[in-house]
């Protein structure tokens, strides 16, 4: 035994030879001040700071436990080290294999404080008492700051176990601890505050390797990482956080790379059981299994980032992309994103954000702003953004440009290099200080919003020579610009330097949506020049751009670009194609696009709207309006087609100051279902019969053999450039029936803006004869007649079908135009023991537009030679019970009218409010039946009241859905 103590002393002399003294503490109560001069303090037995006493430990002190004993604090402990001179609670695991029993705060003074302390090698393996290998805290609300708890072991809560109380852990590291249950931090009925901590790399034999919460704990976690924790070889849940019957608040945290070491657990990041959690602005990334598993719990999860693990167990509305956040990134309805958080170095456990992280400024805007003053980031480490203006002197750029750093002053040519990406947030202004350009070889994601666009611009007063535009050169095809303004760019050089004043797109299939390209100028393609690939322009506007030679709005050269729902308006050129020039064997697709009020000003004024040469464009459902040439164009002011095979369909050409279409050596053009008005129809060599009225279309309007009409399209306001159609426009329902139907499910309209007008059903009509309740001889020829019905759709004719029902048989007679039909009853197998029912349906040629007569009639049948009753009519008024009743949606109501009378049949709800009028007209004597369709009403009790002459009756209806 003496040899063992000698070994300990010799070891301490070797380790702490710089200290003047070693202080031996035998056990019992301790108080006063422990100083570095008397360090290390050798603890040989259990020691205690008694209630009412205090112990102060100075920086640099080492408290060495030479036996498996503990330090219990019932009074006050002030162990305050410094960043450069910490306090250490430790043991030698070789000389003392039983290690020590940790720090035990039990009903301690809440003013107790530990700062810059290291607590290591605590050991409590016992099942009953093994709580908190490093620190056990019971009914105590003390404070721990900048402490490191490592290499501790316990049955439950290897690093720390808190039982009741509200201690605060600030900037602490709880790492590399082990617990059979919970390796890092256990909270039992505790309301701890965990601020800017790192609970990482802990191990548990079961669940909750990082944090285990139970028994109605309500902790608050902020700016804390719970990462790289794992369980041992037992099936477990919540390697990051296990939460049972608790209510945590988790804000600005990062749960990353938690995983089971053995069999897979169900949820590696966070498991909630019978709990209520608030989780916001937190990263869940690279965890093994589910990010969050929710069992009998409620979780409010907002402004988080989920990436690199499953999230299938989230509530239905979480993780379903429905919109975009303030950065323009896709998110669910709770502003959670599903993007790579772009952490600095996950392998090295560096969870700071890179400049390109989508988590920057994507946190909850209701939270306090980050230290740089910008909107909160997602995650535990805010990214510091420099407040604008941001000076960009030139060279390569990447990362994320934010509104906080705006405006970005471009003071040299800048490039997004191949393999790099640049994200630009809503609200950013990119201000070019001289004739510089932004060239993209990598990826550009400039995604503004409808209310907060991104602007690429310059001060035209300060700088006469404008900036050189955006150049997409073989860029990443996932590049995207949304809600951006590109203005005052200029490209006046030779070759490519003169292409695309606003945007030059070469070999890139990028997407441009809701962008405005205006006031740009170039030799070719004042607004945009596209060559190669197939970029998409969706809901973009190209306005007031100018080309010195060709293509004021756009040049499309050797490209399959798509223009969808765009406006090419008010552009100019001194050559052809003031709106769009298409050449170089391009095959662009234009749909729902207007090309209007563009002007060709020079001597070569071909195709002021569109000039097309050696290409195969498709122009579908567009409007080419008011384009002009000076002097007035002779060569297709609307569209000039040279040696091309164009498909032009359901498009309006109106008010152009020269021929709408000019055919030059282009015999393969297909121009069908269009409207030409207010200019010459065609020039050059149009197809035979083009523009010659020789037929009628589906609306019964005169048209040529290609279904083109020559009628005023009836725009809302041509002067104000509102090209929507008026309700009476002949273009409505006059487009190509083979095109996809309009949103109102009708045949396509002609032009860029469809008019919402579903097909009119035939008007209501009533049966005339035989009258309801008449008696018929079963061998007679009977004339059935009814009122006429009208169709509000121009060109439509209403047809009818007659139905007879007797016994188990129903006969349908062919559809016919007349409102009467003769039936030979002798040819039918009639059941004369029951009344025969008859009714008529009216049909329009449009789909789904048929109606049934207002009321079905019945007729009594007798055999030939039989005595016909003198009076088979009802003897008195009567209202019968409806059938079925209760009913779902539709029920039949029968009533008797003994003499011709005005009959009212009205349905009321329980409050006496009128909900339906079934009949209100003069009716012939007979037995009648009407259908009550309650599809638009809610379930409940209703009443049907019949009044006729001095008769009144009420029946109850029960609607059950």
Residues 883 and 910 in one domain: yes
Q: Which pLDDT does position 664 carry in this prediction?
A: 86
| Cis preceding linkage at 770, omega within 30 | yes
Do 776 and 859 touch, CB atoms closer than 8 A? yes
Q: Which pLDDT does position 10 carry in this prediction?
A: 41
Q: Which pLDDT does position 585 carry in this prediction?
A: 95
Q: Which pLDDT does position 866 carry in this prediction?
A: 54
pLDDT digits (tens, 9 = 90+) for 67-104: 999 999 999 999 999 999 999 999 988 878 889 999 99
Token code pair at residue 937: 């009403």
Do 956 and 943 touch, CB atoms closer than 8 A? yes
Q: Which pLDDT does position 18 carry in this prediction?
A: 39
**β-strand 670-672 against 647-649: which pairing, if any?**
parallel
| Cα–Cα distance measured from residue 260 to residue 206, given in angstroms and rounded to the nearest whole number | 9
Could you identify the residue written with the tokens 């009519």? 873
Q: Which pLDDT does position 234 carry in this prediction?
A: 56
Q: Which pLDDT does position 7 carry in this prediction?
A: 42
Q: Is residue 784 domain-resident?
A: yes
Residues 198 and 157 in one domain: yes
pLDDT digits (tens, 9 = 90+) for 790-816: 887 877 889 999 999 998 999 999 877
Domain count, the chain: 4
Could you identify the residue written with the tokens 């009567």? 878
Residues 86 and 230 in one domain: yes
Q: Is residue 816 domain-resident?
A: yes
Residues 837 and 893 in one domain: no
The DSSP secondary structure of 125-172, one letter per residue, reads --TTT-B-SSEEEES---EEES-EEES-EEEE-SSEEEESS--EEES-
Residues 800 and 893 in one domain: no
| Cα–Cα distance measured from residue 622 to residue 27, given in angstroms and rounded to the nearest whole number | 93
Residues 77 and 143 in one domain: yes
Q: Which of 294, 312, 330 delimits the end of a domain?
A: 312
Q: Is residue 577 domain-resident?
A: yes
Q: Which of 575, 561, 632 is nearest to 605 (CA)?
A: 575
Do 395 and 421 touch, CB atoms closer than 8 A? no
Do 550 and 576 touch, CB atoms closer than 8 A? yes
Residues 441 and 585 in one domain: yes
Q: Count Cβ atoms below 10 Å from residue 698 Cβ, excluding itself.
A: 19
Do 139 and 106 touch, CB atoms closer than 8 A? yes
User: In the chain, what is the greatest distance between 2 CA atoms, to the nearest angstrom?
Assistant: 139
Q: Is residue 353 domain-resident?
A: no
Residues 207 and 154 in one domain: yes
Q: Which pLDDT does position 8 carry in this prediction?
A: 44
**Helix residue ranges, H only, 734-804:** none
Residues 790 and 882 in one domain: no
Q: Which of 296, 312, 328 delimits the end of a domain?
A: 312
Residues 56 and 199 in one domain: yes
Q: Is residue 362 domain-resident?
A: no
Q: Is residue 685 domain-resident?
A: no
| Cis preceding linkage at 921, omega within 30 | no
Q: Is residue 850 domain-resident?
A: yes
pLDDT > 70 in the chain, percent: 94
**β-strand 589-591 against 618-620: which pairing, if any?**
parallel
| Cα–Cα distance measured from residue 609 to residue 633, given in angstroms and rounded to the nearest whole number | 11
User: Which CATH number is 783's domain given?
Assistant: 2.60.40.10
| Cα–Cα distance measured from residue 653 to residue 674, given in angstroms and rounded to the nearest whole number | 8
| Cα–Cα distance measured from residue 775 to residue 571, given in angstroms and rounded to the nearest whole number | 77
Spacing of C-alpha 354 from chain mean position = 25
User: Which CATH number is 906's domain given?
Assistant: 2.60.40.3080
Q: Which of 625, 650, 679 delimits the end of a domain?
A: 679
Token code pair at residue 276: 């209520």
The DSSP secondary structure of 318-368, one letter per residue, reads SS---EE-TTS-EE-TT--B-S---EEETTTTEEEEPTT-TTTT-S-TTSP
Residues 845 and 942 in one domain: no
- Half-sphere exposure of 33 toward its Cβ, with a 13 Å CA cutoff? 5
Q: Which pLDDT does position 831 carry in this prediction?
A: 87
- Domain range enclosing 433: 409-679
Beta bridge mates, 260: 231
| Segment-wise mean pLDDT, segments of 10 residues, the chain, 961 residues | 41 42 92 95 96 97 95 98 96 87 96 98 91 96 97 96 97 96 95 97 90 96 96 73 95 93 65 93 91 88 90 71 88 94 93 92 93 91 85 94 91 96 94 95 95 92 84 97 97 91 97 98 97 96 96 97 98 94 96 96 82 95 94 77 93 94 81 95 89 94 97 95 96 96 92 90 89 82 89 84 93 86 89 90 81 90 62 81 89 88 93 92 83 89 95 94 81
Q: Is residue 14 domain-resident?
A: no
Angle at 643 between CA 642 and CA 649, to 5 degrees: 75
Residues 827 and 894 in one domain: no
Name the helix (H) or strand (E) containing 777: strand 775-777
Q: Which of 778, 841, 844 is nearest to 814 (CA)?
A: 841
């Amino acid at each position: 035994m003496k040899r063992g103590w000698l070994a300990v002393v010799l070891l301490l002399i070797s380790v702490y030879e710089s200290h003047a003294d070693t202080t031996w503490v035998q056990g019992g109560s301790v108080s006063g001040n422990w100083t570095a001069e008397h360090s290390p303090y050798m603890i040989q037995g259990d020691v205690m700071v008694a209630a009412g006493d205090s112990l102060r430990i100075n920086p640099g002190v080492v408290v060495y436990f030479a036996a498996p004993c503990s330090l219990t604090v019932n009074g006050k402990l002030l162990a305050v080290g410094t960043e450069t001179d910490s306090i250490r609670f430790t043991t030698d695991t070789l000389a003392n294999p039983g290690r020590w029993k940790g720090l035990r705060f039990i009903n301690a003074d809440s003013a107790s404080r530990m700062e810059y302390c290291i607590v290591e090698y605590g050991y409590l393996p016992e099942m009953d008492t093994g709580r908190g290998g490093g620190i056990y805290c019971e009914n105590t609300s003390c404070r721990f700051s900048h402490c490191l708890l490592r290499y501790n072991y316990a049955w439950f809560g290897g690093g720390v176990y808190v039982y009741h109380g509200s201690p605060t852990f600030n900037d602490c590291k709880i790492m590399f601890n082990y617990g059979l249950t919970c390796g890092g931090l256990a909270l039992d009925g505790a309301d701890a505050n965990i601020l800017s901590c790192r609970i990482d790399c802990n191990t548990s034999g079961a669940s909750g390797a990082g944090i285990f919460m139970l028994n109605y704990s309500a902790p608050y976690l902020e700016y804390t990482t719970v990462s790289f924790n794992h369980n041992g070889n037992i099936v477990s849940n919540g390697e990051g956080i296990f939460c049972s019957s608790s209510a945590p608040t988790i804000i600005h945290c990062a749960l990353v790379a938690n995983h089971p070491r053995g069999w897979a657990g169900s949820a590696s990041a966070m498991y909630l059981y019978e709990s209520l959690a608030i989780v916001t602005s937190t990263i869940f990334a690279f965890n093994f299994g589910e990010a969050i598993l929710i069992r009998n719990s409620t979780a409010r999860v907002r402004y988080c980032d989920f990436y690199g693990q499953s999230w299938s167990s989230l509530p239905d509305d979480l993780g379903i992309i429905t919109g975009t956040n303030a950065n323009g990134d896709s998110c669910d309805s709770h502003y959670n994103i599903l993007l790579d958080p772009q952490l600095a170095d996950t392998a090295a456990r560096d969870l700071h954000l890179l400049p390109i992280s989508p988590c920057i400024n994507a946190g909850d805007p209701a939270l306090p702003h980050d230290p740089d003053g910008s909107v909160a980031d997602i995650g535990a480490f805010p990214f510091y953004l420099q407040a604008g203006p941001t000076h960009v002197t030139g060279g390569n750029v990447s990362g994320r440009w934010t509104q906080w750093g705006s405006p970005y002053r471009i003071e040299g040519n800048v490039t997004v290099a191949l393999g790099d990406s640049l994200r630009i947030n809503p609200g950013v202004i990119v201000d070019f200080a001289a004739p510089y350009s932004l060239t993209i070889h990598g990826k550009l994601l400039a995604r503004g919003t409808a209310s907060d666009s991104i602007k690429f611009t310059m001060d035209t007063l300060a700088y006469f020579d404008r900036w050189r535009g955006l150049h997409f050169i073989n860029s990443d095809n996932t590049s995207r610009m949304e809600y951006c303004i590109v203005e005052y760019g200029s490209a006046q050089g030779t070759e490519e330097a003169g292409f695309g004043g606003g945007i030059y797109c070469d070999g890139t299939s990028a997407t441009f949506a809701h962008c405005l390209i205006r006031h740009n100028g170039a030799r070719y393609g004042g607004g945009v020049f596209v060559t190669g690939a197939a970029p998409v322009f969706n809901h973009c506007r190209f306005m007031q751009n100018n080309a010195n030679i060709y293509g004021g709005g756009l040049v499309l050269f050797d490209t399959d670009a798509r223009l969808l729902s765009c406006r090419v308006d008010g552009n100019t050129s001194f050559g052809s194609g003031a709106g769009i020039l298409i050449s170089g064997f391009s095959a662009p697709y234009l749909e729902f696009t207007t090309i209007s009020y563009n002007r060709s000003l020079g001597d070569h004024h071909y195709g002021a709207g569109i000039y097309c040469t050696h290409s195969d464009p498709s122009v579908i459902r567009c409007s080419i309006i008011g384009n002009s040439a000076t002097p007035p164009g002779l060569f297709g002011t609307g569209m000039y087609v040279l040696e091309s095979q164009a498909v032009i369909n359901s498009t309006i050409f109106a008010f152009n100051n020269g021929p709408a279409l000019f055919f030059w050596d282009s015999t393969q053009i297909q121009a069908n279902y269009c409207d030409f008005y207010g200019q010459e129809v065609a020039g050059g060599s149009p197809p035979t019969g083009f523009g010659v009225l020789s037929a009628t279309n589906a609306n019964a309007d005169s048209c040529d053999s290609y279904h083109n009409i020559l009628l005023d399209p009836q725009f809302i306001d041509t002067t104000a450039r509102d090209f929507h159609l008026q309700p009476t426009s002949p273009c409505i329902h006059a487009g190509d029936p083979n095109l996809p139907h309009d949103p109102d499910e009708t045949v396509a309209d002609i032009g860029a803006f469809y008019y919402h007008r579903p097909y009119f059903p035939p008007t209501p009509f009533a049966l005339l004869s035989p009258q309801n309740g008449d008696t018929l001889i079963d061998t007679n020829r009977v004339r059935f007649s009814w009122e006429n019905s009208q169709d509000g759709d121009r060109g439509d004719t209403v047809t009818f079908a007659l139905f007879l029902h007797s016994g188990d048989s129903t006969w349908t007679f062919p559809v016919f135009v007349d409102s009467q039909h003769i039936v030979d009853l002798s040819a039918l197998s009639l059941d004369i023991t029951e009344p025969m029912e008859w009714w008529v349906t009216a049909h329009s040629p449009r789909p789904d537009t048929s109606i049934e007569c207002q009321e079905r009639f019945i007729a009594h049948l007798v055999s030939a030679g039989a005595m016909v009753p003198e009076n088979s009519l009802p003897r008195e008024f009567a209202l019968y019970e409806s059938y079925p009743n209760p009913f779902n949606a539709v029920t039949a109501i029968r009533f008797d009218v003994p003499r011709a009378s005005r009959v009212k049949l009205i349905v009321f709800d329980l409050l006496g409010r009128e909900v339906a009028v079934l009949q209100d007209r003069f009716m012939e004597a007979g037995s009648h039946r009407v259908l009550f369709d309650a599809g638009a009403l809610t379930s409940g009790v209703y009443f049907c009241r019949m009044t006729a002459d001095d008769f009144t009756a009420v029946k109850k209806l029960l609607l059950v859905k």
